[in-house]
Structure 1
Amino acid sequence: MTVSYSEALAAYNRVAQQARPADSQSSGESEATGGQDFAKVLRESAGDAIGTLRTAETQSLAAAAGKADINDVVMAMSQAEMTLQTVVTLRDRAVQAYQDILRMPI
């Protein structure tokens, strides 16, 4: 699967917009179990993915300015590509699971 730079940037911007908390609601942790809710886990994972993509973006901009080591740039871009592919795969599987649920007989 080949992902163009503009598609990756658009995906990055969409995830960044969705990861921002709308307001400071409750933390979502269950007081009885002390565990995290699913939405919080997704927010943290999206934040990690955004951090990886931002690092790659910073490295590529530094390389364009001639201020970065090429090995660091290649590693950052490789990690960003792997992160983006993972996010896309998870999205595809979630959509497939939702479609499977809709097809279940009642």
Structure 2
Amino acid sequence: MITNPSGAVQAYDKMLRQGGAAGLEARDQGGADFSSMLHRAAERAADTMLEGESQTLQAAAGTADLTEVVMAVSKAEMTLQTVVTLRDKVVQAYQDILRMPI
């Protein structure tokens, strides 16, 4: 495992050049309903977060490649940011609906 800062920067740069951006990739699968699409997106988000945790644990044990750890943690971070943004938008929409006059 690489422990110097320049190695971490190089690994992060390599991850960015490889296009390591996950987020939620919820694409319609030809007529699938909204709830199943949302369910699949949530499962993928959870899987991405678990992969980040797994890679972090392997890094702590000294058995993981730093590039893989950086990629997994970056994907998990982007996924978390996406989920939080979606949650905020849903809450804002709900509040807007509550403020509507009847």
TM-score, reference length from structure 1:
0.65
Query: CA separation in 2, counterparts of 1:53 and 1:105?
Result: 40
Supply the AA of the counterpart residue of 2:67: N
Equivalent residues, number: 73
> Match for residue 20 of structure 1?
none
The residue aligned with 1:103 is: 99
The one-character-per-residue Cα deviations of 1:1-46 (angstroms, maximum 9, x if unpaired) are: xxxxxxxxxxxxxxxxxxxxxxxxxxxxxxxxx7222221111000
- Matched to 2:54, the amino acid is T
Aligned counterpart, 2:58: 62
Identity %: 64
**Distance of 1:68 and 1:83 partners within structure 2:** 21
Corresponding residue to 1:37 among 5, 28, 33: 33
Say what the alpha-carbon RMSD is for the aligned residues: 1.1
1-structure distance, mates of 2:92, 2:63: 43
- What TM-score, normalized by structure 2, do the two folds share? 0.68
4+ residue runs over 4 A deviation: none
